[in-house]
């Protein structure tokens, strides 16, 4: 999709550099613009304590 670019190091072929392309940075910016208000609304509906508990459970599941 052209969102990231991976380049091999000339000095050490085992190393790679990875960064967002312009399209990747644009998509990230658009996603954050949607996610931030949704996340804020969720926090308001759950309250800080329950929100923090959900975040902790989610982090554990991701491990």
Rounded CA gap, 29 and 18, in Å? 18
Domain that holds residue 49: 4-62
pLDDT of residue 12: 85
Local structure of 6: helix, strand or coil: strand
Question: Greater confidence, 4 or 14?
Answer: 4
pLDDT surpasses 90 at 33: yes
pLDDT surpasses 90 at 60: yes
Model confidence band, residue 55 (pLDDT cutoffs 50, 70, 90): very high
Report the relative pairing of strands 16-20 and 4-8 from DSSP bridges.
antiparallel
Q: Rounded to an integer, what is the distance from CA 57 to the centroid of its chain?
A: 18
Split into its structural domains, the chain has a count of 1
Model confidence band, residue 61 (pLDDT cutoffs 50, 70, 90): very high
pLDDT surpasses 90 at 41: yes
Is the distance from CB of 7 to CB of 17 less than 8 angstroms?
Answer: yes
pLDDT of residue 13: 82
Q: What angle do CA 11, 13, 5 make, to 5 degrees?
A: 100
């Amino acid at each position: 999709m052209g969102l990231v670019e991976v380049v091999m190091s000339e000095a050490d072929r085992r190393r790679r550099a990875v960064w967002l392309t312009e399209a990747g940075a644009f998509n990230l910016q658009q996603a954050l613009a949607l996610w931030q208000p949704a996340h804020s609304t969720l926090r308001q509906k759950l309250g800080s304590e329950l929100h923090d508990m959900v975040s902790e459970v989610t982090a554990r599941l991701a491990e």
